[in-house]
Structure 1
Amino acid sequence: MQLIKILLYILPSILTNTPFQSTVKKSTVLVCYGKVKPESIKGYTYVILESLNYTSKQIKTIKAQNSKVFAYISLGEVNINAPYFKVLKENTIGKNENWDSYYLNLKSNKTQETLLSIVDKTLSKGFDGLFLDNIDNFTIYGPQKDQKKDLVNLLKKIKEIYPKKEFLQNAGLDLIPETASYINAIVIESVASNYSFKDKSYNLRDNNEFINQLIRLKSINENSKIPVILIEYADSKKLFNQIVEKIEPSKFEYFIGNIDLQSIPKFK
C-alpha cells in the first residue's frame, strides 16, 4: 500500500509532458572541494567543503552568508593526498582505483582513534557538521561489508561527543535503519545523471532506474523523516537542464556540478 501511494504521488510529475519552465530555481546546495573565495559562496542551505582549504575566520564568513556549512570527511577511505594518509594507510584493506584511495579498516582501534582526532580538529574550525562519505562501502555489496557494526558504533560515538553538530550521510541507503538516529540528512549521488568513469562521459540515467530510485528515496524520506539531498553530475547547460527537469518534481534539495567538484559550477 505504501509503495502504491508513493507511485501515485510522484509518477504524474515524472511522466508529465508539460514543457519545462525556462526559469529554474537556484540550487540550494553547494559541494566544492576546491579552494574558492569565501565571499563567492553565498545563499545556500547546505554548503559542503574541504576543511583544509579554509581557516576558522573564513568558515565564519561563509557561515554568515549561508544556512549551514559542512566539512567533508570519509569514514570509509583515505586518499593518497590526504595529510593523514601515512597514519591511516597502515590499516587499509585494498584500493579504490577510481579515486586513488584506500579502504579503511574500522575494526582497528588505531583507525577509529585517528578518525575521531580528524573529526575533532575539523569541527573545531566552526563547521555546523560533517558530510560523511563512502558510507555505501559498508553495505552488503561494499568492500567493507563486514565492518557495518563498527561503522554504526563509530557514528554513535561521534554523535555522542558532538550532539549539537549535524551529519549528512552520503549513500548507504540500506544502512538507514541503523544510522538514522545519528544523521540529519541522507545524500545520494547520480539519481538522474550517470557519469561513466570508463570513458569519462556525462549522461542521463536510464529512466526506469531513475524512477525506481526516486520511489525508494521518497519512501525513506516519508518513513524516516530524514531530508534527502541529491548530488548530480553534468558538463553542459543542456544536460544540467535535463537533470533539473527530472528532479525538480521530487522537491528534494539538490546540487549539480562537474565530477571533480573543484569549483562553483558554471555551465555553457
Structure 2
Amino acid sequence: MRLIKILYLCTTSVALTQQDDPQVSPREELYVCYGKIPVEQISGYKLVVVEAAHYSGTEVKALKQQNEKVIAYISLTEVNRHAPFFNEMTPYLLGKNPNWNSYYLDIASSGVRHAIISLALTYKAKEFDGLLLDTLDNAGPWGPLNHLEEALHSLVRELAEQWSSPYLIQNGGLFQKTLPTEGILLESVVSSYDFKTKIYTIRPAAEQEKLLNSLEKIEKDVFLLEYADTQLKRSEISETLKKRKIPYSIANIELQGVPVFKENPKQ
C-alpha cells in the first residue's frame, strides 16, 4: 500500500458501510482508509489505520473510544510530493517508484531519519496507539534499497524508542523477522491486482491455501488487506477468509474512501 494524497470525502450514499452490508460475514475487523471519513462511520473495529493528517486529536480520541486500536500510516522508505517535508528530502532521493509516483529515500541519512521520526512524534502527540510502517519491502533482499536493510532496522528501533512502546504494525516485510513490531499486515493473499492492466483477480485456490497456511508460523498479530472491484470477488474473498481467524478488510486499491463494489456481471 502507498499513500495517495487525494482528499476523498465519502458518505454512506456512495456505498454501503461495512456495518450495513449484509453480504460480509463475519463482519470485517480491520479498517484501512487514507481519505477523510467521518469519525462516526468508523466504529467497532479491532484495528483502524488512517492518514493522521485528516484527523484532529479530538477525532483520534473519538476513534479510540469506538475501536480497539487506532494507528497512523507512515511510509519509511518513500516520499511523495505532497508530503510536508518533501522539499527537505530532495537531496536524499534515490530514484522514483513509477507505480505510486513517489520517490525512494536514503534512510541511512540523518536528515531523513530526523524528518521521519519527527513526523511520527506528531502522531504520538495526537494520541494514536501506534503506526503502520509501510514500504519496508524496498529495503528487502529484492528491493531497490536492499543495501539499506540494516538502516531500516535501525530506524524502526529508534522510532520505537522515541515513541516509547507504540503498537507497531509492519506492512509486509516478511524478511524483517527481527523488527520490533507487534503485528504484520499482508496485502493480496487471496486476491491480486495488476498495476499495469488495473485488473482485480482472485488467486488460484492452491496458491491461496499455501499462503494462508504460511501465516500460521508468524508469531505476531496478523491482518489481511484484500482488494476487489465487484460483489462477486468480494464474496469469494470473504467466503475464504471467514474460515480463518484472521482480521481482514476488503477494499478498492486506492484506499481513499468507502469501497464501491460493482454488481456482478451478467452471464
SS of match in other structure, 1:175: coil
Q: CA deviation at 1:23?
A: 6.3
Q: CA deviation at 1:267?
A: 3.1
Which residue does 2:146 correspond to in 1?
145
SS of match in other structure, 1:151: helix
Change (3 A) 1:262 1:22: closer
5+ long unaligned stretches in structure 2: 1-21, 263-267
RMSD: 1.5
Q: In structure 2, how many angstroms separate the alpha carbons of the residues matched to 1:40 and 1:73?
A: 23
Runs of 4+ in 1 over 4 A off after TM superposition: none
Q: CA deviation at 1:80?
A: 1.8
Match of 2:242 among 244, 248, 264: 248
Which residue does 2:182 correspond to in 1?
184
Q: In structure 2, how many angstroms separate the alpha carbons of the residues matched to 1:206 and 1:101?
A: 31
Match of 2:216 among 215, 218, 236: 218
Query: Could you state the TM-score of these two structures normalised by the residue count of structure 2?
Result: 0.86
Q: CA deviation at 1:247?
A: 2.1
SS of match in other structure, 2:175: helix
Which residue does 1:169 correspond to in 2?
170
SS of match in other structure, 1:174: coil
% identity of equivalent residues: 38
SS of match in other structure, 1:106: coil
Counterpart amino acid of 2:245?
Answer: K
Q: In structure 2, how many angstroms separate the alpha carbons of the residues matched to 1:27 and 1:33?
A: 17
| Contact 1:130 1:168 (C-alpha < 8 Å) held by counterparts | yes
Counterpart amino acid of 2:215?
Answer: L
| Contact 2:121 2:163 (C-alpha < 8 Å) held by counterparts | no
Query: Could you state the TM-score of these two structures normalised by the residue count of structure 1?
Result: 0.86
SS of match in other structure, 1:249: coil
Which residue does 2:255 correspond to in 1?
261
SS of match in other structure, 2:191: coil
Change (3 A) 1:114 1:245: same
Change (3 A) 1:192 1:55: same
5+ long unaligned stretches in structure 1: 1-20
